[in-house]
Amino acid sequence: MGCYVSKLCSCCCAAGHGRLLHDPENAGNLGAENEGVPSFQVFSIDQLRTATSGFSVENIVSEHGEKAPNVVYKGKLENQRHIAVKRFNRSAWPDARQFMEEAKTVGQLRNHWLANLLGCCSEGEERLLVAEYMPNDTLAKHLFHWETQPMRWAMRLRVALYLALALEYCTGKGRDLYHDLNAYRVLFDDEGNPRLSCFGLMKNSRDGKSYSTNLAFTPPEYLRTGRVTPESVIYSFGTLLLDLLSGKHIPPSHALDLIRDRNIQMLTDSCLEGQFSIDDGTELVRLASRCLQYEPRERPSPKILVSALIPLQRETEVPSHVLMGIPHVSEALPLTPLGEACLRKDLTAMHEILEKLGYKDDEGAATELSFQMWTNQMQETLDSKKKGDAAFRHKDFTAAIECYSQFIDVGTMVSPTVLARRSLSHLMSSMPKEALDDTVQAQVISPMWHVASYLQAAALFAMERDNEAQIALREGTVLEGKKA
């Protein structure tokens, strides 16, 4: 088996893990300490509200829709780290102490195979988890709802191995229960590598009702007892192997009938034709059927799964992002004029672009203002905005800050463009902290607005926080590309 292990070494190095996998016995320890991940911390609800732009609908990333008991949002902390925030149903965890204990235990895990838990929040009735954000969608999206290309066989095998490694690591750390393991729980990171969501390591609620998926896919013992066991997790892993093989969500009972009838072709995704040998397909089917045994004790352990999946790995020297056909995080995106101006720290050029842009990105703001002009207070508020615009146009940035502040402080009308203009005025006045605060407010109002990200980058560059500035600059470029 040594030749396969050496191939897997190069695969892991190409994935950016920076550690060698010397043998299958040690597989679960690879990347056990993930140095790039901060320690677990407790967040305030205000921090997470700001990070998610007020729990904006635009930031929801859950793919389960209305059936999901809890909602997951993407967000961004002040240090530019992207996060995923799971907000529990109000009735899920009435006992705050129990919730905190459970979260802190899961938060001690750190591994390259996991989307790690960074922290939690428990204030009043609010219960939230904070994890690393994985930007490249779920396994469900890539298997069942792909748009550009179906997932290649080599990548499917890699997903299976990485998940087995994640389960082996968790088992070794005393967390051998995973709740509702399915294709939505498998996420893809910046490098295109599969990660197991840490959210499934915690129950969805205090009572531990774990399976939100169709009961046809749940382990038979769960239907009898309502409890998850380590063997139940292996059964769910078997359903995932079926997903990877077929590209569809096939009920295990139907799949086992096909396997018994030796009708393997009906189980195999037609998109994979010519990509794998009969022996490889048969071995994966055999492994899936072992995981789906009716008797829990007859199912393999995570360690056995890892040993069985290592010899099946193919194209191990090819990085995951190449197999997935997704852009690599290190690939430079072409900068637009506003992005170029931010990178050059050319505030004059940024001023010209904002002036030309005007207020066309303030959706609905003009209509709202015209209806409210009849009151004296609104007229005064609009006058302060007009005076601010005149001062901004004539580069009197001190006056612009004063007038825009009068408009913003009234609080009746919101305008991301006013905040952007005041942010640039603060930058022109050597007030980068105030400029950064304005960009955060603008993002709360309009989470997908590229200008707010660009100005955030400019403020961070001015504060000599260059790494964070580069992240914000890239985000602005991506958002502007989506808008185009």
- Kindly give the confidence (pLDDT) of every residue in the chain, 484 residues in length, as a single tens digit, with 9 standing for 90 and above: 334 343 444 444 434 433 334 343 444 444 445 557 899 999 999 999 999 999 988 899 875 544 456 799 999 998 889 999 999 988 889 899 999 999 999 999 999 999 999 999 999 999 999 999 998 999 999 999 888 889 999 999 999 999 999 999 999 999 999 988 999 999 999 899 999 999 999 987 776 566 655 677 889 998 888 888 999 999 999 999 999 999 998 888 888 888 887 777 778 888 888 898 888 988 999 999 999 999 999 999 999 999 999 999 999 999 999 999 887 666 667 888 999 999 899 999 999 999 999 998 886 544 344 444 445 567 777 888 999 999 999 999 999 999 999 999 887 778 899 999 999 999 999 999 999 999 999 988 888 899 999 999 999 999 988 888 888 898 898 888 877 6
Which SS3 state, helix, strand or coil, does residue 310 take? helix
Q: What's the rounded Cα separation, in Å, for the pair 146 and 153?
A: 15
Taking every pair of Cα atoms in the chain, the longest distance, rounded to a whole number of angstroms, is: 81
Q: What's the rounded Cα separation, in Å, for the pair 412 and 402?
A: 17
What's the token pair of residue 329?
Answer: 């995080």
Burial 285-318 (b: 16+ CB within 10 A, else e): bebbbbbbbeeeeebbbbbbbbbbbbebbbbbeb
Residues noted as catalytic: 180
Note the pTM of the prediction, 2 decimals.
Answer: 0.76
Residue 270's CB: how many other CB atoms inside 10 A? Answer: 9
Superfamily of domain covering 337-363+372-482: Tetratricopeptide repeat domain (1.25.40.10)
Torsion of CA 422, 428, 434, 440, to 10 degrees: 60
Extents of the domains making up the chain: 41-132, 137-324, 337-363+372-482
Please state which of the four CATH numbers 3.30.200.20, 3.40.50.11820, 3.40.50.11890, 3.40.50.300 is assigned to the domain occupying 41-132.
3.30.200.20
Residue identified by tokens 């140095």 is 35
Go through the chain and tell me how many residues it has. 484
Residues 6+ apart with CB under 8 A from 32: 110, 111, 169
Q: How far is CA 381 from CA 157, 224, 358, 372, 408, in A?
A: 61, 66, 18, 10, 9
Q: Please, are residues 439 and 50 in contact by the beta-carbon 8 Å criterion? A: no
HEC string of 7-32 equals HHHHHHHHCCCCCCCCCHHHHHHCCC
CATH topology of domain 137-324: Transferase(Phosphotransferase); domain 1 (1.10.510)
Q: Please, are residues 395 and 407 in contact by the beta-carbon 8 Å criterion? A: no
Q: Write out the E strands in 77-115.
A: 82-87, 114-115
Residue identified by tokens 């396994």 is 139
